[in-house]
Amino acid sequence: MELEVPKQALLPADSPAVQDDDDLKLEIATQWQLMWWKFRKHHLAMAGGVVVLLFYIVAIFAEFFAPTLATYYREDYVYAPPQTLHLFRDGQFAPYVNGLVFERDPISFKKTWAIDEETAIPIGLFVKGQPYKLWGIIPMDLHLIGPLNPEDPFYLMGADKSGRDVFSRAIYSARVSLSVGLVGVALSMSLGIILGGLSGLLGGTLDNIIQRLIEVMMSIPTLPVLLAIAAVVPLDWPALRVYFIITILLALTQWTGLARVVRSKFLSLREEDFILAATLDGTPRGRLIFRHMLPSFYSHIIASITLSIPGMILAETALSFLGVGLRPPVVSWGVMLQETQKVTVIAIYPWLLFPALAVIIVVLAFNFLGDGLRDAADPY
Amino acid sequence: MWQFVARRLTYMALTVWVISLISFMVIQLPPGDYVTSLVSQMLGAGAREIPPEFEQQMREQYGLNQPVYVQYFKWLGNIIFKGNFGYSFVYQRDARELILERLPMTFAISFFSVVFIWVVALPIGVFSAVRKYSVADYFFTFLGFIGLAVPNFLLALILMFLSYRYFGQALIGLFSAEYADAPWSLGKVLDMLNHMWIPVIIIGTAGTAGLIRTMRANLLDELNKPYVDTARAKGLSEWRLLWKYPVRHALNPFVSTIGWVLPGLIAGEVIVSIVLNLPTSGPIILNSLMQQDMYVASGFILVLSVLTVVGTFISDLLLAWLDPRIRLS
């Protein structure tokens, strides 16, 4: 409950300049307000937060932001190079891209696509493109950006080996990769809090067992085991099931960090006076945990979670890159990067690395955000 | 002190046992076994029909027809008492030979990565803390973040691409052509070191980033303590002041973190070696997992995990030696 302190009531009428408004606000600000103010000062973290938000918005409305569908392909435009978007033509705002023309390399006689400076394909915003179902339910055909004539090629980031638009697929991948991060972290967070909490609260043998379990899990080099289990997933399982199994596996490798933090916090909180007071009051244990102990370190939990999401995303990308994670037709950044395993491919078609850029940006943003949250978590 | 060591040893033994269980279970997970995949391979290659007696025979020959727990104890017993890791169906060799072939290189790369991380992270972390908010500090923090964000296989890819573009050859493998099959000599060792810095840098980057930040944060905490001001007031030179007390204090969490960096290093090494096609355990593990070559795969996982556990144990010992408070707790 905030105290409303009218300045006039406390100070004599003839006193000099009253206390600054800001200082007064600082005195009566709530915990969350203090955290928010401290977070706001961390510019990098704010930037990170904005980037993360943007990514998630794009991921949620992927169908709208992507110029084509994820699986749409045109054999005639295999490995097309990226077409740069020009905004102004003849001094007017008329976005266009250059067309693509077939060329034969004079030395190797290889057929390649090259940018044709002569032709210009007009591009528009909010165009009608391929029909899709937003979230699989709402039929729409509005795309944020696309060629005015839907038959024209529009490859902002080039095309891959099947003639699919790399840019669109990267946007759809954002949805999968980012949600794996969220779901995985939710799972590992629950596991970590429950086990860590039990361990810290109850102590004794249970604590010992859980501690040893945590140590064992932390000592196992996760990748080989992850590889082993992921390689085991049968090829004929539906994509959604594979998705959940991979997420569960990733969560199983990450919960230990949070569990240790929660355990140490609980151990120290157990000795606090206010917990003793609550116990003496007759608070049942469940309420004790959720109403009294847990809120003391919400902030740390939030910071921890934000810092483990990038780990989850990186792990999923690595697995899919090796071929043992998500599989086509599910598209994630790792799956897209699978094509780039050969150096020769990257040397000739470097735009295939675009999903990697997306991964790096998202992970950086999450790290900055998490850093800021962690700094802000202790505003005192 | 001995109580501490004894306790840690017991826990280590327990951990190793659980790991052996997991390693073995992991291989038993896929439905069917090597014989199933062999049969499907043969069918794929054009065999008309495989009589069930064939499968029976193969299973008996490879010892795959016994119940799982029997297989487990046989496997474990073989490893502990005879050093026999089993037989690799895919490579048609003793699994132990394969493991011994590849393991030293994995070990060497991981070891050098740890050294790299220490050598790089410690001075940069100290420097970052002392020159807080300077240009160099921001630069290193930023570099550290990049190192954290870029997945190491991606770094490997990019480095390969750059070397391909600018040096005309891909940085694949650990040896130049003339040394690849040659017996070990000084020249070969030097050649290996020449090539090794690339995977070591790739693997070490992520770990370095995290440790720089930890070191910086810890040292900053220390530098704010009153005893630092006292020492400065008493006339101790900045250099001596820095290294004699705060750094040693800040090393404490640093050393304990090093131990837990090891599993991540091994995992990173596996991925990077797959991408760069280095002659270490990475490619073999992936291959044997895909083909259900169980003895090789579980052997590798077991050995790698044991190495990791031993490594963490050593780091715990180091920590106890460094900080007397741990010994007595």
Model confidence band, residue B8 (pLDDT cutoffs 50, 70, 90): confident
Q: Please report, for residues A212, A238, A256, A259, the alpha-carbon distance to residue A180 in angstroms, rounded to integers and kept in the order given.
A: 28, 16, 18, 20
Please give, rounded to a whole number of angstroms, the shortest distance from the CA of B134 to a CA of chain A.
16
> Inter-chain contact B15–A212, Cβ cutoff 8 Å?
yes
Instruction: Count H helices and E strands in chain B, helices first.
Output: 14, 2
Report the complex ipTM: 0.74
Model confidence band, residue A50 (pLDDT cutoffs 50, 70, 90): very high
> Which range (A56-60, B32-36, B152-156, B208-212) has the least confidence?
B32-36
Q: How far is CA B48 from the centre of its chain?
A: 45
Amino acid B169: pLDDT:
59
A222 interfacial to chain B (CB closer than 8 Å): yes
Find, in chain B, the residue whose alpha carbon is nearest to that of A354. Answer: B154
Amino acid B30: pLDDT:
65
Please give the share of chain B, as a percent, with pLDDT higher than 90. 0
**pTM above threshold 0.80:** no
Cβ atoms of A258 and A304 within 8 Å: the answer is yes
Among B272, B280, B286, the strongest candidate for a mutation testing the A interface, having the largest count of A CBs within 10 A, is: B286
> Inter-chain contact A222–B263, Cβ cutoff 8 Å?
yes
The string of pLDDT tens digits covering residues A135-155 is 778 888 788 887 777 777 788
> Inter-chain contact A227–B285, Cβ cutoff 8 Å?
yes
Residue-averaged pLDDT of chain B: 76
* Architecture (CATH level 2) of domain B110-280: Orthogonal Bundle (1.10)
Amino acid A20: pLDDT:
58
Model confidence band, residue A6 (pLDDT cutoffs 50, 70, 90): low
| Phi (first) and psi of residue A116, to 5 degrees | -100, 110
Amino acid A124: pLDDT:
76
Please give the share of chain A, as a percent, with pLDDT higher than 70. 87
Measured over the CA atoms of residue B131, residue B134, residue B139 and residue B141, the dihedral's sign is positive
Q: Which of B148, B161, B263 shows the shortest C-beta gap to A347? A: B161
Indicate the residue type of B20: S
Amino acid A13: pLDDT:
52
Residue-averaged pLDDT of chain A: 78
The string of pLDDT tens digits covering residues A17-45 is 555 566 666 666 677 777 777 778 778 88
Chain B residues with beta carbon closer than 8 angstroms to that of A319: none
Longest dimension (CA), chain B: 90
Q: Is the pLDDT of residue A54 over 80?
A: yes
Domain ranges of chain B: 110-280
The three-point CA angle A240-A244-A247 to 5° equals: 135
Chain B residues with beta carbon closer than 8 angstroms to that of A321: 153
Average pLDDT of the segment spanning A90-105: 74
Among A41, A219, A233, A369, the strongest candidate for a mutation testing the B interface, having the largest count of B CBs within 10 A, is: A219
Distance CA A378, CA A380 (A): 5
> Which range (B157-161, B254-258, B313-317) has the least confidence?
B254-258
The three-point CA angle A291-A292-A297 to 5° equals: 105
Percentages of chain B per state (helix, strand, coil), in multiples of 5:
80, 0, 20
> Which range (A223-227, A344-348, B220-224) has the least confidence?
A223-227
Model confidence band, residue A53 (pLDDT cutoffs 50, 70, 90): very high
Please give the share of chain A, as a percent, with pLDDT higher than 90. 2
> Inter-chain contact A219–B164, Cβ cutoff 8 Å?
no
Distance CA B173, CA A287 (A): 59
Chain B residues with beta carbon closer than 8 angstroms to that of A227: 270, 285-286, 289
Q: Is the pLDDT of residue A109 over 80?
A: no
A208 interfacial to chain B (CB closer than 8 Å): no
Distance CA A122, CA A238 (A): 40
Reduce the DSSP state of residue A47 to 3 states and report it.
Answer: helix
Average pLDDT of the segment spanning B99-115: 82
